Amino acid sequence: MSNTEVEVADINIDVKHLTRVEGHGNIVVNMSAGKVEKVQWQVPEAPRFFEAMVRGRHFDDIQTIVSRICGICSISHSLVATKAVENALGIEVSEQTDMLRLLMHYSEQLQSHVLHVGYLVAPDLFGAPSVVPLISQAPDAVLTIIRAHRVANQWSEVLAGRITHPITIVPGGMSMIPTEAQLGDLAETLKATIPDLLTVADVVLSVAENLPAFDRETEYVSLKQDNPPTYTFYHGDIASTDGYTAPVDKWESVANEYVVGQSTAKWAKWHRDSYAVGALARFNNNAELISPLGKAVAEKFGLEKGCCNPFMNNVAQLAECAHVVESALELIDKLLTKGLKKEKVQVKPRAGKGTAAVEAPRGILFHTYEFDDKGDCVAANLGIPTNQNHANIQKDFEAFVPQFAERGEDALRMGLEMLVRSYDPCISCSTHMLNIEFVK
């Protein structure tokens, strides 16, 4: 290599089982004489085969089973499964049920986002290996994060019956509804938590310069709801920042799972080589509809619609924390004005196929089920957010490595780890995920 102008040290990054992410992922980078030889985002998670396991199960057990796909987003999985079952069985739920479920769903966004930004991402920004050393370094900040997390969990418990794996969602309605007094108390608790959420945002803002300046254009895919226009997590159609839309029941032709090189790795793509889902995708599709406080948080960080820096997903999550609390307060107000009433749920099995979508905290989530006339499941297909981000993470890696390699191996590894974490991956969720063998 006598022609090489600058001597570049070889880089060999081999991160086995990346820490501070849900599930198991590996990062492999090999560079020799300044030339990238291999860049891989691998997933060795033990597959769990949920789509196979639900076969033969009665429709009223589906939610209980698939909730266990993910502890962190169990509410999203329960809700989307129940909506898909209802779609298959031709059930329309009441407005009250819809509102209570949406209120429950908001609680999970807050719980998951605070957990992700506060416990998993913040240590990177403070240069700490975990939140543990921060307990003594920045006790007030840590206690504020814990308090916000506790409020989100208490909120879940009021609607879902307990904190993880909800027990109130049944096909056709809710097995238990909160009392009006509980909702009133919840509203007071949520109002009181707003200053804490703004503090968390300010804490992150104080170290936001440590979020790498890295842009890569991609297609951002999320739900979009026009009637009424809403920053939606729960209703609407599939939309992308490239201007395309699709009804939810056509999700399989949006995800277009495909295989790369000789390795038969399944990735997702719609109109480009890859697409991204999650808070930044929702923001990029719906920014003008975010609540006033959500907008204020985004503005603090200079987050604007059209942002294509994946690290800003963390910031979009912070904006959504404020948004879901404000939206929940409006929703509680509406529920209390109408008054809550106990509704009877009656569901009869029938043969049919149903699909539904919700926004899990980490991106758009699809479930499809088919039932026989006894109401037993004959087939299922699940579209998981992290699967949809997988190719996009790989494409980000390929752009990131040449740009940041000159900072040296340690900084590059740290940057790649942060890049994966910024997607808030939920690898246990990704039942489809395969090992990637990237062929240059």
Partner 1 sequence: MSKPRVAIFDFACCEGCQLQIVNLEEEILDLIGAVDMVKWREAMSESSEDYDIAIIEGSITRPEDEDRIRSIRSRAKVLIAIGACATMGGLNKLKNNFDMDDVRQCVYGDAGRMEHLDTAPTKAVDEVVKVDYKVHGCPMNPEEFTYVVRCLLMGKTPHIPDYPVCVECKMKENVCRWEYGEICLGPITRAGCGAKCPSASFRCFGCRGYVDDPNMTAAKDVMDKYGLSVDMLKSKLVLFGSKQGPSYE
Q: Which residues are at the interface with partner 1 (CB under 8 A)?
A: 17, 19-23, 44, 46-53, 55-58, 61, 64-65, 68-72, 74, 115, 119-120, 123, 129-132, 135, 143, 146-147, 149-150, 153, 161-165, 167-168, 170, 175-176, 259, 264, 266, 428, 431-432, 434-435
62 vs 289, beta carbon nearer partner 1: 62
Rounded least distance, CB 52 to partner 1, Å: 4
164 vs 189, beta carbon nearer partner 1: 164
Nearest to 104 by CA among 186, 172, 181: 186
- Report the distance separating Cα 158 and Cα 328, nearest Å: 13
123 vs 236, beta carbon nearer partner 1: 123
Q: Which helix (H) or strand (E) holds 355?
A: strand 352-360
24 vs 35, beta carbon nearer partner 1: 24
- Report the distance separating Cα 79 and Cα 108, nearest Å: 11
Instruction: State whether residue 289 is helix, strand or coil.
Output: helix
- Report the distance separating Cα 57 and Cα 377, nearest Å: 5
- Number of other CB atoms surrounding residue 195 within 10 Å: 10
Rounded least distance, CB 337 to partner 1, Å: 25
77 vs 83, beta carbon nearer partner 1: 77
Rounded least distance, CB 434 to partner 1, Å: 7
Beta-sheet strand order (sheet of 352-360) = 352-360, 363-371, 377-383
150 vs 300, beta carbon nearer partner 1: 150
163 vs 239, beta carbon nearer partner 1: 163
β-bridge mates for residue 360, sequence order: 363
What is the per-residue DSSP string for 200-265?
HHHHHHHTGGGS-------EEEEEEEETTEE--SSSSEEEETTS-EE-GGGTHHHH--EEETTTTE
Rounded least distance, CB 317 to partner 1, Å: 17
Rounded least distance, CB 136 to partner 1, Å: 10
- Report the distance separating Cα 327 and Cα 335, nearest Å: 12
Instruction: State whether residue 97 is helix, strand or coil.
Output: helix
33 vs 143, beta carbon nearer partner 1: 143
Alpha helices in 138-179, H assignment, sequence order: 139-160
Instruction: State whether residue 72 is helix, strand or coil.
Output: coil
123 vs 278, beta carbon nearer partner 1: 123
Rounded least distance, CB 240 to partner 1, Å: 26
Structural tokens at position 259: 């295989």
Rounded least distance, CB 150 to partner 1, Å: 4
Instruction: State whether residue 176 is helix, strand or coil.
Output: coil
Rounded least distance, CB 72 to partner 1, Å: 6
Instruction: State whether residue 119 is helix, strand or coil.
Output: helix
Rounded least distance, CB 121 to partner 1, Å: 12
- Report the distance separating Cα 116 and Cα 149, nearest Å: 10
